[in-house]
Amino acid sequence: MDPLSSSPSSSSKPQVLDGSEIMELVANNHLFSSFVDHKFQDLDTDKDGKLSLQELHPAVADIGAALGLPPQGTSLDSDNIYSQVLNEFTHGSRDKVSKTEFKEVLSDILLGMAAGLKRDPIVILRMDGEDLLEFINSSAYEPEMIATFSEINLPEGSLHDYIVKAFENLTVEQGMPPPSDSWVMSDIIEPALESCAAGENWDKPVSQEIFLFEFKRAAEHVAQRLKEQPVIVAHSENTFDGSSIRRLLSNKFELDKSLNTALQSVPRDKTGKLPKEHLQLALDLVAPLAGLPPLGALDEMDKLLLDVFKMVDADDGKVVKEDEFKKLLTEILGAVMLQLEGSPISVSSNSVVHEPLACSSTLLTPPS
Ligand SMILES: [Ca+2]
C-alpha cells in the first residue's frame, strides 16, 4: 500500500495537489483553516452556518472525483463508497454538519487519501502484484485454491475457463484487483493468460493437480503485469448490523422529523390518505438516515426487506391515515433492525480508480 501519489496515471496533472502537498496543507493549521473556510462558505448556499445533506452533496461528489471514482449513479460499488463518504460527514444522522465537524472529517479524508493508509471505511489500495505473489507462495494457497476448484462447476469448462473463474474468486486481500472491472479483465488478466497459454497442459482435461500448477503460473504472470502497471482500488467494507436504526428509533424527535420529511414525497390519494403500496418508497426515503442501503443495491438486504413488507401486509392494496402509515413504517424499521441485529449483512465494495486525483475535482485545487 504505497502512497496514492505514486500511482501510474497521476504524472501529468499539475492542477491538483499531490499526496505530500495535501499532507502539508492539512498540517498547516492556518492554511487549512482558510481552505476549510472558503470551502464551507461555497457549500453553505443558504448561509445558515451549517451544511445540510444537500449542501454536502457537491463536496461528496468532489471527494469521489478526487478519488477517481466514476460519477454517482454509474456503478453500485462506487455508489456504496459515495454514501459512505456522506456518512462520514453526517455519522448517519440527518443533522446538519457544523464547520468544526466538516473540518475534522475533511482533514481525515484528505490525509487518508494522501497517505493511502488503511482507514475506515475507505481504503485506497495500490495493487502492484506483491500481495498476489505473497498469496500464491503462502501455505494458504493450496487449501484455498483446492476449495475454489471444487466450487467451480464447469462440466464442459477448459482449463482457461477454470482459471478465469478462479481469478474472479480471488479478493483484494489476496492481492487481486476486482476482475468484475472490464479493464482489469481486458488489460491485466487476459494478456497475462495469453502470455502463458502456450503451456502444454492447457487443452488437457482439468485435474486438480494441473489446475493448482497452471493457476499459480497464470497468477505469476498477472503479478508481473501488476508490477508493470499497478492498479489503484478504492476498497470499502460495511456491515449493516441494525445499530443505526436503533439509534434513529431511540430518538423520537429525530424519528418524527425523518418520517415527516419522507412523507412529504409520498403521493397521497384524493382524501389525503396514504396507499400502503408506497411504504417501500417511504422506507427508501428514510433509508440513508437509518443507515440502510438504497433498495436494489444489495440483494441480501432486498430479500430481508421483502420479508418484512410481507409481515405488515404492505401489499394488501389498502390506504391508511398518515398516523397509521408512520406507525407501519416504524414497525418495518424495528423489524429490519431486529433481523440485522440477529444476522448482520456485510458488503465489500471494490472500485478501480482509473484517474486518480482527476482534474474534474475542485476539492483539491490549492486555495487561492
Ligand atoms: Ca446551510
266-282 pLDDT per residue, tens? 889 888 899 999 999 99
pLDDT at position 314 is: 85
95-105 mean pLDDT = 87
pLDDT at position 338 is: 95
Is the CB of residue 16 less than 8 Å from the CB of residue 365? yes
C-alpha of residue 351 to centroid of ligand 1, in Å: 31
**Percentage with pLDDT > 70 across the chain:** 82
pLDDT at position 207 is: 87
Position 333 pLDDT exceeds 50: yes
C-alpha of residue 34 to centroid of ligand 1, in Å: 18
Higher local confidence (pLDDT), 91 or 342: 342
pLDDT at position 355 is: 47
Categorize the per-residue pLDDT at 19 as very low, low, confident or very high, splitting at 50, 70 and 90. Answer: low
Position 185 pLDDT exceeds 80: yes
C-alpha of residue 44 to centroid of ligand 1, in Å: 4
Dig out the grid coordinates for 84 from the structure. 459512505
C-alpha of residue 53 to centroid of ligand 1, in Å: 9
C-alpha of residue 42 to centroid of ligand 1, in Å: 10
pLDDT at position 341 is: 93
249-271 mean pLDDT = 89
Higher local confidence (pLDDT), 9 or 149: 149
The overall average pLDDT reported for the chain is 81
Higher local confidence (pLDDT), 313 or 66: 313
Handedness of CA 306, 310, 314, 315 (dihedral sign): positive
37-54 mean pLDDT = 91
C-alpha of residue 74 to centroid of ligand 1, in Å: 28
Is the CB of residue 338 less than 8 Å from the CB of residue 242? yes
pLDDT at position 140 is: 94
Residues 6+ apart with CB under 8 A from 221: 192, 193, 195, 196
C-alpha of residue 96 to centroid of ligand 1, in Å: 8
Categorize the per-residue pLDDT at 11 as very low, low, confident or very high, splitting at 50, 70 and 90. Answer: very low
**Distance, CA of 103 to CA of 64 (rounded, Å):** 17
Position 365 pLDDT exceeds 80: no
Long-range pairs for 147-153 at CB < 8 Å and ≥24 separation? 149/208, 149/211, 149/212, 150/208
pLDDT at position 121 is: 54
C-alpha of residue 6 to centroid of ligand 1, in Å: 37
pLDDT at position 201 is: 58
For residue 141, the tally of other CB atoms under 10 A from its CB is 17
Residues 6+ apart with CB under 8 A from 156: none
pLDDT at position 13 is: 31
Lowest mean pLDDT among 96-100, 199-203, 233-237, 244-248: 199-203
Q: Tell me the CA end-to-end span of the chain in Å, nearest whole number.
A: 32
Residues 6+ apart with CB under 8 A from 133: 175, 219, 220, 223
